[in-house]
């Protein structure tokens, strides 16, 4: 799913994009304190408040269908719990990065738990990444769907000018995994790889959360094991502070062959 060019953001206020009428919105800009070279160009356009789930879903679907025409990828955007203006309305965003400058395999290998982080702690061999997972051959891409109730407080609709959905974090200078030493260009490089291999598409983004939908995730047990290690290298908190390895793997396996939801969060 690509667009031939990055689109032009609508002006602040009520907007109309490719025949789709949108609620009032504002431009998302980087604060110079976070992105000194970010410039005055807006990074994105976002509704001024949450959009009710049924309305959000309808708008999102129509905008996805027009992405090749508009070059504006829609995402459900949430803020930090208790501080909903962060990061989008306060400009807590870094410099935009080019994901083509990074290799997904190298990024994930650099973050895999092979014992180098803590030589005194034996790594879980199931989470040591030695290669990338292969997708199940011949799987068709299911239709995209926006999961309901992404956040109890609701989600805003954000439009990001990109060539493909995977580039959203890089184009936003997104700092969600900053504590994991993972920059926005590296995030998008991994997302590009997952998009190519598994049809994994960015549908939601928050202060430190990311939501994907994957349509071609592996069904082979060995490849699924590798995918779990990829997820852990990308976002260790989902396992280290979330589900144990076997439960995490079972959760991914249970979502196949239907479109699965991959949710990531960083502490």
| pLDDT tens digits, one per residue of 177-210 | 999 999 999 999 999 999 999 999 999 999 999 9
Tell which residue, 160, 219, 169, has the closest CA to residue 189.
169
Residue 116 has pLDDT above 80, yes or no: no
Tell me what percent of the residues of the chain surpass a pLDDT of 90.
70
> How many folded domains does the chain comprise?
1
Could you give the percent of the chain with pLDDT greater than 70? 91
Q: Which pLDDT band holds residue 36 (cuts at 50, 70, 90)?
A: confident
Q: What are the residues whose beta carbons fall under 8 Å from the beta carbon of 207, sequence distance 6 or more?
A: 78, 79, 80, 81, 83, 86, 87, 176
- The pTM assigned to this predicted structure is 0.93
pLDDT in tens, 155-168: 999 999 999 999 99
Q: How confident is the model at residue 121 (pLDDT cuts 50, 70, 90)?
A: low
Contact at 8 Å (CB) between 148 and 76? no
**CB–CB of 81/17 below 8 Å?**
no
**The pLDDT of residue 215:** 81
User: For position 254, what pLDDT does the model report?
Assistant: 81
pLDDT category of residue 22 using cuts at 50, 70 and 90:
very high
Print the domain residue range for 162: 13-265
Contact of 181 with 101, CB cutoff 8 Å: no
Inside any domain, residue 3 = no
pLDDT for 39 equals 63
Angular region, 164: left φ>0, alpha ψ -120 to 50, beta rest: beta
Q: Is residue 244 part of a domain?
A: yes
> pLDDT tens for residues 63-80?
999 999 999 999 999 999
Quick check: 123 pLDDT over 80? Answer: no
Residue 225 to residue 21: CA distance in whole angstroms: 44
Q: Is residue 127 part of a domain?
A: yes
Lowest mean pLDDT among 23-32, 105-114, 134-143, 173-182: 134-143
Please report where in the chains the tokens 């982080």 appear, as a residue: 117
Q: Flag whether 221 is in a domain.
A: yes
Q: What is the pLDDT of residue 187?
A: 98
Residue 6 maps to a domain: no
Those residues with Cβ within 8 angstroms of residue 96's Cβ, 6 or more apart along the chain or in another chain: 35, 38, 43, 170, 171, 172, 173, 184
Burial of 56 (0-12, 13-18, 19+ CB in 10 A): buried
In a domain, 1, yes or no: no
Residue 103 has pLDDT above 80, yes or no: yes
């Amino acid at each position: 799913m690509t667009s031939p060019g990055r689109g032009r953001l609508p002006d602040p206020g009520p907007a109309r994009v490719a025949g789709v009428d949108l609620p009032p919105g504002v431009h998302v800009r980087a604060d110079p304190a976070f992105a000194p070279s970010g410039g005055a160009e807006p990074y994105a356009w976002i509704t001024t408040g949450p959009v009710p789930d049924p309305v959000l879903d309808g708008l999102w679907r129509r905008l996805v269908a027009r992405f090749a025409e508009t070059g504006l990828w829609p995402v459900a955007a949430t803020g930090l719990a208790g501080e909903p203006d962060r990061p989008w309305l306060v400009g807590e965003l870094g410099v935009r990065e080019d994901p083509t400058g990074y290799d997904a395999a190298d990024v994930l290998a650099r973050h895999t738990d092979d014992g180098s982080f803590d030589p005194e702690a034996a790594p879980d061999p199931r989470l040591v990444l030695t290669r990338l997972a292969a997708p199940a051959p011949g799987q068709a891409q299911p239709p995209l769907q926006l999961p309901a109730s992404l956040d109890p407080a609701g989600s805003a609709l954000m439009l990001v000018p990109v060539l493909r959905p995977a580039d959203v974090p890089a184009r936003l200078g997104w700092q969600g995994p900053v504590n994991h030493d993972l920059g926005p260009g590296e995030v998008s490089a991994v997302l590009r790889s997952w998009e190519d291999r598994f049809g994994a598409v960015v549908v939601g983004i928050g202060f430190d959360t990311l939501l994907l939908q994957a349509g071609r995730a592996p069904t082979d047990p060995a490849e699924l094991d590798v995918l779990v290690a990829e997820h852990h290298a990308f976002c260790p908190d989902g396992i280290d502070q979330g589900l144990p390895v076997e439960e995490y793997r079972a959760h991914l396996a249970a979502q196949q062959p239907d479109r699965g939801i991959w949710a990531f969060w960083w502490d």
